[in-house]
Structure 1
């Protein structure tokens, strides 16, 4: 990236931070497989005045969903399931329409009809703000919570788009069952290690022991207030990964065809 382009990008990020109140931003760009710009803005810890860098571990939120899909597509490639496999054949989910079952594809494409019910928000509040919320502490709690919401189904599977974090929690549980491992173990062995993403994690201990990690904040009356990043297995699949801008470039380069694909290219399309 040429100097003038980099300066313009610096200005765009600085203005966006000022408008949003974000304490820190980490950014990298790729051109023809090479990182051409990498910079941190602001602070990763306001109290200690520690700078954000291109290596700062930051929660990537719903970008995690693409990793969960990739792990599921590995199972498709290996013949463990298909995109048309009904999820009720593999998980204790009794929800929806008997004549039109929810499939793996429906979970991936936010077209399952499953109600959102704010589950992710409930868990984030509980983990990060210490609030008293619904007792969702296990997979069994999640299944009971979801199956009890059959009257809130939004539509028949495949009929309409409706963004749903709970669908990705189900997809993550499916991935764990068929791989016989935790989602973090699957991501590490099948995605992060092959792509040289050594510091990327979903584990609280690894994140907190890393010398360059973000501090979580939320905005209150326009000002950042220190919080805790939510660590809970039920929100790992829809939004649990913490990574750096530079390690994320390795992942992006795989999709751009600049690294060896982890599944057949027709499964990435």
Structure 2
């Protein structure tokens, strides 16, 4: 690959964000040195409070990377094993989960379990899909009624199928095995060693003033937020908030072995599967470029579209986050086209 024209990439991203009328933030940095950082649109439309480069945004499923790292650290410490049968910790809960499902199956989306939020079903991102009142979903055990009653879809280890419920089950077994709450585990095993002070699982009904509200519709005149569409506090399958700068700091901590050791890090970014829907490879908790060095996390939900990519060789972090469900994707597309043309 030729030397990357970062100024050209920044220009392409800025142009795409402006043409899209994006609401959110875009950033590029090399090993923490900012190349480009710009915010667009409003964090609060009703009060016309603009997004800034310091705004905290919801990450949706990007947060699955945090869950994966916390569980991996429990494996490193001997609290869990990759081949620990989930049933040995769930006991009689969630009886439809196959007895052969292991921690590794859940971490690699190969468990085959039925999903409470199956993305292969015909649903729109602004549908009301949660079957438990959202205000009750502040702790992991509260998700059990939603996770129950979904039949196994395929044999464990048979195929890759992206699974939100699998990461909620990971949160459950991590709590039960460690004796710590999910949010305590993430703080202690991911955020603290990475030095993240503005990243966390915030309640949607009491967001601090530096957070962007998530909007259901791209129309900037619509004031309808996502507060009734998502758990009041995120958990194993998503829902953390962060900034573009702290996501870069997260990647560098991960790459430098400050969250999990180098051997575990390398294991997690070794390709295991191929996700046809995303045209990307998948390791353990992380997406990987189809043909390239990048490690990726992405999120999509009511009021959220988010993506971040780290290149371990160049130490380039690229992040695009929007507080609408579609705002980020064309900007991400511009990024990927630019990289492809530069190869």
**TM-score scaled to structure 2, two decimals?**
0.64
CA distance in 2, matches of 1:62, 1:251: 15
- 1:217 matched to 2:187? The reply is no
Q: Secondary structure at the match of 1:193?
A: helix
Does the 8 A contact of 2:70 with 2:185 survive in 1? Answer: yes
Does the 8 A contact of 1:28 with 1:245 survive in 2? Answer: yes
**Structure 1 position 243, deviation (Å):** 0.5
CA distance in 1, matches of 2:153, 2:129: 27
In the alignment, which residue of structure 1 is the partner of 2:248? Answer: 249
Which one of the candidate residues 134, 151, 160 is aligned to 2:131?
134
Answer 1 or 2: which has greater helix percent: 1
In the alignment, which residue of structure 1 is the partner of 2:259? Answer: 262
Does the 8 A contact of 1:60 with 1:240 survive in 2? Answer: yes
In the TM superposition, what whole-angstrom CA distance separates every residue of 1:183-210 from its partner, at most 9, and x where no partner exists? 222222222223221121112289622x
- How many residue pairs get aligned? The number is 252
Q: Structure 1 residues 76-85 or 29-38, which shifts more?
A: 29-38
The unaligned stretches of length 5 or more in structure 2 are 267-343
**Structure 1 position 228, deviation (Å):** 3.6
Does the 8 A contact of 2:10 with 2:36 survive in 1? Answer: no
Q: Secondary structure at the match of 2:217?
A: strand
The unaligned stretches of length 5 or more in structure 1 are none
CA distance in 1, matches of 2:185, 2:205: 16
**Structure 1 position 47, deviation (Å):** 2.3
Q: Secondary structure at the match of 2:235?
A: helix
In the TM superposition, what whole-angstrom CA distance separates every residue of 1:60-88 from its partner, at most 9, and x where no partner exists? 11110010000001100110111110100
**TM-score scaled to structure 1, two decimals?**
0.80
In the TM superposition, what whole-angstrom CA distance separates every residue of 1:125-149 from its partner, at most 9, and x where no partner exists? 9xx98x5952364666644544422
Closer, same or farther: CA 17–116 of 1 in aligned 2, 3 Å: farther
- 1:57 matched to 2:46? The reply is no
Closer, same or farther: CA 8–147 of 1 in aligned 2, 3 Å: closer
Closer, same or farther: CA 181–268 of 1 in aligned 2, 3 Å: same
In the alignment, which residue of structure 1 is the partner of 2:270? Answer: none
**Structure 1 position 224, deviation (Å):** 4.2
Closer, same or farther: CA 144–109 of 1 in aligned 2, 3 Å: same
